[in-house]
Structure 1
């Protein structure tokens, strides 16, 4: 096998019926393998993204994994090979970014169908042109798709998605009687009997009824049903309501009753629970393992509660309440124990100093440039003033005044910027950083209590991965079992 190594990449778009170049994954892979065999290149692996758009790299896990592997020096990858350039990206800037990064590392892009390799400098311009055409084609596809959907919306056609109570056949909504009964049940319980979202969800779950996606009912899934105008026979597209072609499930009268209840309830102020719940999402329910969130607390009793129980009722999971104050004090003390006993101030200082040194260099360069600009402006002002006093030149007084005013404004702006950067440099050169770090570690608990509610939540979520709770029949029996950090605080010293 050849001394050159390559990784292949294949992608198929989700808009296969509109993308004429949407060659199958299998065909793209076959062409990549054949190319490597003919050109004596070792093909390490072919990464794939199935039904992923080329508009950006977002959500393209295959591309990300492939790209990161290519950049690793120890892999010794020489090429990324694609069947066609637009399989890599349909955005010009994305393509140019990848190409520039590869070239900087002496790695290259090969597009088989386009017969180009960036190893040849003459082909780099061709890649740029192809990237522009790929982006234009993407925009054209988007334009055609949007226009088509707008036309269908005007006609009241179904535009896709899953709707409880219906199934889609030939892009038309067909009624499912069993599911339609569930929809009617939800509307009647809410509009006529004045049940809340949670009570409806809990009752459906207790009866073993699942959502369209086979999951438990939640507050949000019930609310989504109640807000969907498809159930009175309407079709909605980009905020515009049209009469649909499908059979309604709910009558106008029941829909009107539902609207009245929603309007009345929107005017009732929500129950505000005092204090914040910084461990929301971090605490894990001892029964289902899901996140625990703010419970139905009051001024005197505050708890964390299983999120599934809160949204879907006791048939899905029990509340498994944990006292708020106990949980937060325990977790904070656990962190303080690790911080004081296992994290050294000198290790933090070493990392902090490295970061500051890295940041100082550009700041010092910026300060130097601003000082030069300042000197230049001062010389220009002096020169204007010299000319103004020279009787042989006889310059207009208004013009001189205008020029001096303009230069002085520039001078003031540069002086302000230089002062700001100088302060930043002085702060980063502060010799008492070690004292500050030692003081912060020693007095972290006092510092924590000065944080806002939101800052406390950000702090806990940045250092803690999850908090496990023991099972217990009563609230007082549930205790914190262990705290799992995003990193091992003991190992942190060794790394630093």
Structure 2
């Protein structure tokens, strides 16, 4: 008879399953006392909740205070958590709801997909959604879309409340400009900073430029309100701020439907409150400075709300350094008693060690342009006509046939999705299978649309270049050799100038070619 003996396993050597590293994320939209109390309650809840699970290891709590959830770039703690996820420090994230995590559908789905690729899951308590067990992103997409709509609704309600405070004069300026402090919701003069404000206005009235005033303040070691260095832009901001006269114009900026901050040029109502607070500068001084700035701008050809150099010089904003990518600035140089115009790399001017590109003379650029245009006029048949033929070849049958093929695939995909919906409505498909198949078809459709848009963009770009070459050919066919620089011809056909060295530059034409010239 067979003898069987049971050999017990060694329980002491069993594999211990590692604990799941769990973090929590919470956020409040404002920094009011009530919201901060809510934040403390959330922090306490998650710490207790995670530590109570024996299979979980508490690895930290990430929280943002007084930050809007509409854009993830505005939340430093969220970004830090995502960075820790990439460093493999977290396995699971717990958060209260989709709206607390993100009120922007694109951001929400982007972050979920990124974390899934890293093998990290998110549990949304309110919606009871765990991305580890989700069959598809459809429900998350719908819910995050609702959260975004809720955010827009809340934003509109907040805007309405702010508008009411604008209208009845009860709006409080939470962060007053340099020269003022916020004490119990009121703007109160800061004596030390007020003296600097008076100094700025007096210096500009005496004839100094904004950059010179900024340089002087930096040399004196006086910081801005945020502790940074002074710039010409900062000085201009102070000189144009009516709050230094004791008045306050409200709603000088607004937030658009995509949550981007815009300057209000009349799109929204503005509200002027006179004698809102104690003045630092009289109205007379403020208006005198404004008149001086407007006069200097007029002399330099600067137009409000337009590109700073739009009406100043042909080359402004168009000369690019090949070494560092910075634009060139116009300067006046002297050689003995003779003065001449030169163009200098802005980075080289600021820090010579960061860019070695030296200045080039304005007259040399113009001479090189004249030479380049004359070469085009002389050799138009050798240069421009072959280019036109090549561009026409690139922009015809291949791209058009591919676009037509994609349109057929997009139409077929739409039919498949329509059939899927009908099968689901009749009960022939399980919801999980429907979601999976529908998502795959949607991703396929998005891919086709992306390819189609890219081809159309490329085709339009090539057609635009064809038109530019045609225009240039028409000009060179009729034009005679030029002897002097023509601003009109330059603006018509040149997109930018690339400086390769002090003796060689390249004219990038609007038709897409770059012609090099030695100076």
Range with greater deviation from structure 2 (89-98 or 100-109): 100-109
In the aligned structure 2, how far is the partner of 1:104 from the partner of 1:171?
47
Pairing of 1:92-491 with structure 2 (within 5 A):
92=105, 94-95=107-108, 98=111, 108-112=121-125, 116-119=129-132, 131=144, 134-135=147-148, 137-154=150-167, 155=169, 157-191=171-205, 193-239=206-252, 240=270, 241-270=272-301, 272=313, 274=315, 276-279=318-321, 282=324, 294=329, 296-297=331-332, 299=340, 301-304=342-345, 323-324=358-359, 368=405, 449-451=506-508
TM normalised by structure 2 equals 0.51
- The 3-state SS of whatever aligns with 2:73 is coil
Q: CA deviation at 1:10?
A: 1.5
What is the CA deviation profile of residues 110-161 of structure 1, one whole-angstrom value per residue up to 9, with x for unaligned ones?
1346655345559988866764664455345423432343333331644222
* 2:100 is the counterpart of 1:87: yes
Shift of 1:2: 4.6
Kindly report which structure 2 residues correspond to 1:64-83, keeping only aligned pairs within 5 A, or say none: 64=79, 66-67=81-82, 75=88, 79-83=92-96
Question: Does the C-alpha gap of structure 1 residues 308 and 51 become closer, same or farther in structure 2, counting only changes over 3 Å?
Answer: farther
Deviation at 1:250, TM superposition (A): 1.8
* Whole-angstrom distance in 2 between the partners of 1:87 and 1:266: 48
Do the aligned residues in 2 keep the contact of 1:190 with 1:258 (CA within 8 Å)? Answer: yes
- C-alpha distance in 2 between matches for 1:307 and 1:243: 46
For the aligned residues, what is the CA RMSD? 5.3
1:278 match: secondary structure: strand
Indicate conservation of the 8 Å contact 2:348/2:358, yes or no: no
CA distance in structure 1 between the aligned counterparts of 2:145 and 2:347, rounded to whole angstroms = 51
Distance in 1, Cα, partners of 2:348 & 2:242? 28
Q: CA deviation at 1:297?
A: 4.2
Q: What does 1:51-70 align with in structure 2 at a 5 Å threshold?
A: 51-64=66-79, 66-67=81-82
Contact 1:205 1:217 in 2 (8 A): yes
Distance in 1 (CA, whole Å) between partners of 2:31 and 2:123 is 24
**Change in CA separation of 1:292 and 1:216 when aligned onto 2, cut-off 3 Å:** farther
Q: Give distance in 2, aligned partners of 1:104 and 1:303.
A: 48
Structure 1 position 363, deviation (Å): 9.8
1:10-44 deviations in whole A, cap 9, x for unaligned?
23234143985974368437615633651613556
Per-residue deviation at 1:66? 4.0
Counterpart-to-counterpart distance in 2, 1:209 and 1:76: 43
- Residue in 1 aligned with 2:25? 10
Kept after mapping to 2: 8 A contact 1:5/1:44: no
Return the offset for 1:226.
Answer: 0.8
Q: How many residues align?
A: 343
- With over 3 angstroms needed to count, the CA separation of the structure-2 counterparts of 1:304 and 1:10, relative to structure 1, is same
Q: Which residue of 1 aligns with 2:259?
A: none
